[in-house]
Structure 1
Amino acid sequence: MKDKSDNDLTQEPEMLKAFRDTWELGVHSYLTYIRDRLKLAKDLLNSTGSIFVQISDENLQHIREILDEIFGRENFVCQITFRKTNKALGAKLIGQVADYIVWYARDKKNLKYKDLFDIKSPDTESSSFKWIEDENGNKKRVTPEDNLEKARFFTPIPLASSGYTPSCTFAFDLYGSNVESRVGKSWSTTKTGVERAKKVGRLTLMGKTPFWIQYLDELCTVPLENIWDDTRGELQKDYVVQTSHKVVERCLLMTTDPSDLVLDITCGSGTTAFVAERWGRRWITCDTSRIAVTLAKQRLMTASFDYFELKYPNEGLRGGFIYKTVPHVTLKSIANNPDIDHIYDSLHPKIEAALTQLNKELTTQPPASFKVIDGGRKGETLDFSKKAELLEWEVPFHAPEDWNEAQVKALDAFHQARIAMQKQMDEAIAAHADQEILYDKPIINKNRLRISGPFTVEAVPFPSVKALDEAEALDEADASIARTGESGRKHDWMAELAKTGIRGPNGQMINFTDLELIPYDKDMQNIHAIGHIENGDRVVVSFGPEHAALEQRQVANAMNEAGNLFPLPKMIVFCAFTFDPEAAKDIDAIKGITALKAQMNTDLLTEDLKKARSSNQSFWLMGQPDVEVHKLKDGKYQVEVLGFDYFDTVKGELISGGKSKIAMWSLDTDYDERSLFPHQVFFPIAGKGEGWEKLKKNIRAELDETQLEKFHGTKSLPFEAGDNKKIAVKIIDDRGIESLKVMNLD
């Protein structure tokens, strides 16, 4: 966010006013705002907890100063640099492609922390794993022609230590060569360690220098550091400040366990809540923007997640997940592995016997001379007719063309014995190696899928404070309307309604020839405007509250007030951003006067900074759901949706809109008047690949194809009455306008 820039805000009235007040002093106000929230965060943090602050370079140094002041410099953990984009388009100076995360602990001594790892790849230019071992054990440097499908990458590491340890200074034989440590240098392990490394085939000579072999699959991880170059932001953002999942995931996985509680005090697009839900953390998120909270709610309600296997199912999330692990093999773990000696003593005699048999076959019917390519006799030529014999490390992996069948058979027997011992050696090495836990790779149950657990969305009313000279005397308590408050925008809404009218289905319009705001009258607080439409009918308008649903009491009071007008109006229009279900039901049931519901566009809340819209329509006519309930012979009920009843501006009466306009409808078979739970969902006009088919793809669900046809119609499946003896039918038309009908099952 730039200092004192309105353009960075979502266009909500409370956000704009709060922004202009809070940032009046520029960066000073901004830092005060941040400081207050960081103080609160510190009070809420557990002693093992961490706080992460994402910030650009504009105010990075100031944030560090504030965090030092609040948390103490001694609790600074790390400053992480992460890539937010691949290219800095249009940069006049050096491109800025990174943001920063400043990490502090509540108490660094008690900080909860788990290592995360990057997986090494031999494909990168910086990789040192440029050698391979094939399935037969043949080692060579990688070339473009090599088949890498079954190859095992490794890198040779000098056996010589960078320091000096007297107990690690000795000479030893390696493949027929005498190897001695250099003056002032020692080996990286003891003599016992060297002998065990020889037994498992982990030593090699390059020239006259010994190296030990480190395989990539035994050291494929590298600890995560504070520069993250693989965190480019989401390609398609739902929100301008949406953070890459990977950034939030890493912060969360490093410092929390499953079932821990995570707080995000700037919800944004809800990435933190989304990531916490995915990884089995409890979460709380909040924002001053209703748009941000709505985005987060929608994101969570439509999300699906992998199901991670629980380590202790009876304990739930507190028991943690089962994670993948990888071995961390070092020369030290090999040198200290006593199983190597037991395996060698048990299986190496078979290799020696196979080698004896091979040399016997070679000297019995000597083939052509053989040139040694490894070990101390490298480059020498052996003449088997003169009883020359192969040493163990000189045996070729593939038989020369002039070897006879018996010699080839003996060679295969030798390699089978060698490979059998090597397999047990590798298993023993892996068993004794340290295991790195990959906390970002839990075991996934492919047969199950998880969606968001239950959560609540709560809000507090936005306080509106008037100046003393604007304050009015308090009305009688019984004259006020619960939770509606006083809206200062009714005049603007009336002007917009007079200008644009109300759009109905099929391009029909309700246009006003005149519309005036009713002056303040303590007996007329629910009818706000009066005027006429094009056919001359007198109309009154009741506007709902800014930040709450239009409720039943306002409907009842508005009807009473309309009855006191002379001449009586022929139509009453209730305009609101949202309608309470019971209020909508009461409006639809009004007799003797035409009562209409109009959905108000939320852009009407943005005052002078109203966003540009593709359409200038601010009021949409809502239909009345035409629903019938049938009681079946078996005592069950069935609901049939007949469509919407719309007000026809030409005929001046309600007419049926038919079933063709219903995009989706859902049924709550036991409505509790608090929340709507869709027990049955239908997509009547869904085409091929839409409706349930699209939902199936989005949540990767298994659907009973034989039942899908039943959920494309306008009749519900039979159901039994619930405890509340009440149902709710929610219908969405082809314009996206929602209507709700609540009915008793008496």
Structure 2
Amino acid sequence: MARKKRTTPKKEVQDYRHDAKRKNNPPAGIAAQGKIQEKPKQEYSYNPHLPPNLRFDPNGDADKLPELLEEAQQRPLTAEETKTIADALKQHEPWLEWSGKQKKKSFTADPVALHIHERVSAKAILKVAARENVQRSLFADPQQDYAEAVDFYQHDVDWANRLILGDSLTVMSSLAHREDLAGKVQMIYIDPPYGIKFASNFQPTVFQYSAKNSDKDQDLTREPEQIKAYRDTWSLGIHSYLAYLRDRLYVAKDLLHDNGSIFLQINDEHAHLLRNIMDEVFERENFIAMIYFQTAANQNAHRIQRLYDVLLWYKKTPEFKFHQMFKERTQSQIESVFTVKDKISGEPYKPMEMRFSKQSEEYKRLAKAERLTPNRNNWMRCPNDFPYVKYDNVWTGTVESTFSKEKIYVVQTNKNVIQRCILMTTDPGDLVLDPTCGGGTTAFVAEQWGRRWITIDTSRVAIALARQRLLTGSFDYYKLKDEVNGVAGGFVNETVPQIKRRSITENTALDPIFEKHEPILTGKLETLNNALANITPEIRTKLHAKLAEKERREGKRSITDADRRRWQLPDTAWQEWEVPFDTDPDWPEPLQEALTDYRNAWRAKMDEVNKCIADVSECKELVDQPIKDSKRIRVSGPFTVEAVQPAEESLDLNSPIGGEPEDPTDTFEDEDEGHEAVNAEAYLDKIIRLLKNDGVKFPDNKTMKFATLDPLEGDVLHAEGHWEDSDADQNVAVVFGPQHGPVTVMQVEDCLPIASRRGYSELVFAGFSFDDAAQAVIQKDPNPRVRIHMAYINPDVAMDDLLKETPTSQLFTVFGLPRTELKAADNGEFIVKMKGVDIYNPVDNTVNSAGADKVAAWFIDSDYNGRDFCITQAFFPDKKAWDKIARDLKSVVDPECFEKFSGTESLPFPSGEHACAAVKVIDPRGNEVMRVHNLRDLEY
């Protein structure tokens, strides 16, 4: 008979939602249509109290001592000079000083606006795959009416986690002062770059995650934001590195809750310096621990192996949230602590001192609970009393293998490290911040454990990798303590009793158990002793021979107390503490039965005793072992992908775009507007000169050169000119994006009407990148009198000294749109076919027409509303991307649907309210291009 095919029970797919609120950030598509309240730059002052050195005097008077002492030999010192010497000799708390620190006593952070570009919901994508309808509520979209939607930052909306592209200093300032998150972040995890080499700090593409530390141009990142971050961090080597981190630590402290914790990950090369800085920012008394976690199992080092990195753990105030974590005792730990073995059972124990008289009730309870050592002078502490130990400050099990399937980023921390930090210092529903996103490990772990999260990075590659990791992840569903309060109410965790001496000595509930079982055991013992009469001299001789044979064969030390009890039987009777635990086959059958009967009664008593002890013992909660709901499985909750809006005034020469890299000697000098304006003007002069000399390369390999190109001073339009071989009345206006940011929709919508009014026939936007909303507006070509072009600037223009060779041609390139085809499907639905995309390779300065399999990802918003991009279908050419979630959800979603999510053709989708479908393509360097299809253009 054929076996029935086993069916996998269908699991319910859930995500965790949080009751917390957040401000209504501007959706990128309508950011230009509302007013963002101006916020002053936030000034942070620090104690201004060369290689970094420890200093002990607050004003440098100690440096004057040699000179003043020489003067004292020549003449009497003045009162002021005497006071200087006295002050310098006083004891002061030390602080870390580095080049330029005393010149700059404060810094400012601009609370920039953050624009929402994407809304992401793994649950929504799974519903599409299961051919179910998708509601925008799945994306935590507030669905505000227009008037409220453009009233930015003025309304509280439902929480969605956040993946933010931008500089962490300005983003954290914005979170604190635009969104009222100051004092609301429970835990911050910072993993800054370790090394000074440019190549070792960043990952150039989503596919290249091995750490090469190469100086070759092709192995370097070309992201302008990354280049700026590197220069800001390392322009003066260790000196600017320390200033860079100190500034971010001050802003992070602003965000941290009063009982919050901050962890900074670093290697041993700079740990001593950063500990001094954190002492300065968070105060020395708020230092908690320096944790060493293993990062390698073995290294072929010429000298001592470096197998550990360091976590510096600080609290904000003396009172901080902390959950003790435990790990199971290892066998070596048991052997090192429980050094004595029970002579009967062979189980290890540790003799513990007790100060009770043998007539006390406490002593009697220990005796009756069988917790006294053989000499009856100590009580026994056993491994099972609490089979766990506390975590200390040396962590193992944290090595991130180079070949791990989970490794997606060049410098990726093992998730066990961050998991322990999160579980020790936060509760479900608490907010976790990581201003150094990297591969998104902090966000992934926070999502796994039901914490809210915000993560920030300057790299588009990091954002792309983190988005994919979160979108394709699946997690266990943990049971909630309170379904009404949701995640914030906490999880139901496993608990384990911790048996202490008082669990026995002060446990009066044991007395009735002893009273109940003592008569039974007394009767059983009497029967057992009566059965000894069946032992003949021959049997005794035989049993003694067994004992002697074992001693002869295995040695005297092999003989246990259990052996003696079994083979050296008493003449008349056993005392209760002498009774054997097992029988011998040569015993008479009545004696064997009597011992078995006695031991069964004894075990019944001990089961009750041990349960009673466990019931009154303090239970320790295992916060890393929540109870799973096997009927449900979980995916990532909704999150937004956001980006910094470059300052509006940065388009004006009087308020610079960002400027040339400053002279390193001026890095710490007080900045002034004139200096910044000179930098902006120098940048624009340079970029205009390059554009005039090189022209613009179009997709058909045609290069349009300028006959004239002149700067426009003090204008939102930066230059005007004429193409070669064009009519005299064909005027061209040029607008440049920020040096360290994308061309935004606000910039496009500001410049387009001005260009139209002034009679320009063409408008060229030239930038290192374009945000998706800006691309959508340019594609619409909203002004029939002005033709718009998107020209990408070769990022090598901004790299200067970081490259061995800087290109001088094909610096401005107009890309084609993603090559997508909208097709009609059955039942009035639609399908999008991805045919390919133009991918710019900045290494060899070429534009390659690539197939769909060469992109990092492509997404569809099947009902694009022009505000923000809601991912309803997500495609990753990496066929393994969906493997884990496909296995976990095979009872919910047809595996063939996940196979399609690695393909080039979308699943069918209906026309939505807006009758628009947008396609976004992510190239291997994290850059985005987007195309919008009007579904009404396709007739059935």
Conserved 8 A contact 1:3-1:30: no
Matched, 1:68 2:279: yes
Conserved 8 A contact 1:588-1:595: no
Query: Structure 1 residues 598-607 or 244-253, which shifts more?
Result: 598-607
1:129-144 aligned within 5 A: 129=338, 139-140=345-346
Conserved 8 A contact 1:113-1:254: yes
Instruction: Calculate the TM-score normalised by the size of structure 1.
Output: 0.71
Give the Cα–Cα distance (whole angstroms) in 2 for the partners of residues 694 and 601 of structure 1. 38
1:235-634 aligned within 5 A: 235=402, 237-289=407-459, 291-364=461-534, 366=536, 368-369=539-540, 374=561, 381-382=568-569, 388-446=572-630, 447-461=632-646, 464-465=657-658, 489=687, 511=701, 515=705, 519-520=709-710, 545=737, 547-549=741-743, 577-578=769-770, 580=772, 583=775, 587=779, 606-610=799-803, 622=816, 625=819, 627-628=821-822, 630=824
Counterpart among 326, 330, 336 of residue 117 in structure 1: 326
Superposed CA offset, 1:453-472 (max 9, x none): 32342313275255959969
Conserved 8 A contact 2:707-2:722: yes
Structure 1 residue aligned with 2:386: 219
Gaps of 5+ in 1: 141-153, 171-189, 476-484, 505-509, 533-537, 648-655
State the AA in 2 paired with 1:115: Q
Conserved 8 A contact 1:347-1:421: yes
Give the Cα–Cα distance (whole angstroms) in 1 for the partners of residues 433 and 268 of structure 2. 24
Conserved 8 A contact 1:667-1:728: yes
Conserved 8 A contact 1:625-1:731: no
Matched, 1:44 2:255: yes
Conserved 8 A contact 1:599-1:622: no
Superposed CA offset, 1:283-328 (max 9, x none): 3333455554554444434433332221112112221111111111
Counterpart among 709, 723, 728 of residue 918 in structure 2: 728
RCO greater where, 1 or 2, for CA within 8 Å and sep 6 or more?
2
- In structure 2, relative to structure 1, the CA distance for the partners of 1:317 and 1:587 (3 Å cut) is closer
- In structure 2, relative to structure 1, the CA distance for the partners of 1:490 and 1:610 (3 Å cut) is farther
Structure 1 residue aligned with 2:367: 198
Conserved 8 A contact 1:529-1:542: no
Task: Give the paired residue count.
Answer: 654
- In structure 2, relative to structure 1, the CA distance for the partners of 1:492 and 1:696 (3 Å cut) is farther
Give the Cα–Cα distance (whole angstroms) in 2 for the partners of residues 204 and 589 of structure 1. 89
Give the Cα–Cα distance (whole angstroms) in 1 for the partners of residues 265 and 453 of structure 2. 18
Give the Cα–Cα distance (whole angstroms) in 1 for the partners of residues 568 and 300 of structure 2. 65
Superposed CA offset, 1:144-171 (max 9, x none): xxxxxxxxxx53222445xxx5xx355x
- In structure 2, relative to structure 1, the CA distance for the partners of 1:468 and 1:49 (3 Å cut) is closer
State the AA in 2 paired with 1:192: E
Q: Secondary structure at 1:519's aligned position in 2?
A: strand
Superposed CA offset, 1:509-536 (max 9, x none): x54578568522669968989679xxxx
Deviation at 1:431, TM superposition (A): 0.8
State the AA in 2 paired with 1:348: E
Gaps of 5+ in 2: 1-192, 203-220, 548-559, 651-656, 660-672, 839-848
What's the % identity of the aligned pairs? Answer: 31
Give the Cα–Cα distance (whole angstroms) in 2 for the partners of residues 706 and 255 of structure 1. 42
- In structure 2, relative to structure 1, the CA distance for the partners of 1:494 and 1:433 (3 Å cut) is farther
Give the Cα–Cα distance (whole angstroms) in 2 for the partners of residues 395 and 139 of structure 1. 12
Give the Cα–Cα distance (whole angstroms) in 2 for the partners of residues 414 and 270 of structure 1. 61
- In structure 2, relative to structure 1, the CA distance for the partners of 1:305 and 1:701 (3 Å cut) is farther
Deviation at 1:494, TM superposition (A): 8.8
Conserved 8 A contact 2:438-2:457: yes
Counterpart among 226, 242, 247 of residue 31 in structure 1: 242
Deviation at 1:75, TM superposition (A): 2.6
Conserved 8 A contact 1:309-1:321: yes
Give the Cα–Cα distance (whole angstroms) in 1 for the partners of residues 489 and 835 of structure 2. 51
Conserved 8 A contact 1:727-1:745: no
Largest Rg, 1 or 2? 1
Structure 2 residue aligned with 1:652: none
Conserved 8 A contact 1:194-1:335: yes
State the AA in 2 paired with 1:213: M
Q: Secondary structure at 1:286's aligned position in 2?
A: strand
Structure 2 residue aligned with 1:173: none
Deviation at 1:274, TM superposition (A): 3.1
Structure 1 residue aligned with 2:213: none
Deviation at 1:563, TM superposition (A): 8.9
Deviation at 1:449, TM superposition (A): 1.7
State the AA in 2 paired with 1:726: C
Counterpart among 83, 97, 101 of residue 294 in structure 2: 83
Give the Cα–Cα distance (whole angstroms) in 2 for the partners of residues 726 and 445 of structure 1. 40
Conserved 8 A contact 2:695-2:703: no
Deviation at 1:58, TM superposition (A): 3.5
Give the Cα–Cα distance (whole angstroms) in 2 for the partners of residues 315 and 67 of structure 1. 36
Conserved 8 A contact 1:542-1:558: no
Conserved 8 A contact 1:514-1:531: yes
Give the Cα–Cα distance (whole angstroms) in 2 for the partners of residues 691 and 263 of structure 1. 26
Give the Cα–Cα distance (whole angstroms) in 1 for the partners of residues 363 and 883 of structure 2. 63
Deviation at 1:659, TM superposition (A): 10
Instruction: Calculate the TM-score normalised by the size of structure 2.
Output: 0.58
- In structure 2, relative to structure 1, the CA distance for the partners of 1:436 and 1:555 (3 Å cut) is same
Q: What root-mean-square deviation, in Å, do the aligned CA atoms of Structure 1 and Structure 2 show?
A: 5.2
Q: Secondary structure at 2:373's aligned position in 1?
A: strand
- In structure 2, relative to structure 1, the CA distance for the partners of 1:404 and 1:517 (3 Å cut) is farther
State the AA in 2 paired with 1:65: N
Q: Secondary structure at 1:246's aligned position in 2?
A: helix
Query: Structure 1 residues 410-419 or 229-238, which shifts more?
Result: 229-238
Structure 2 residue aligned with 1:743: 934
Matched, 1:703 2:877: no
Q: Secondary structure at 1:57's aligned position in 2?
A: coil
- In structure 2, relative to structure 1, the CA distance for the partners of 1:395 and 1:612 (3 Å cut) is farther
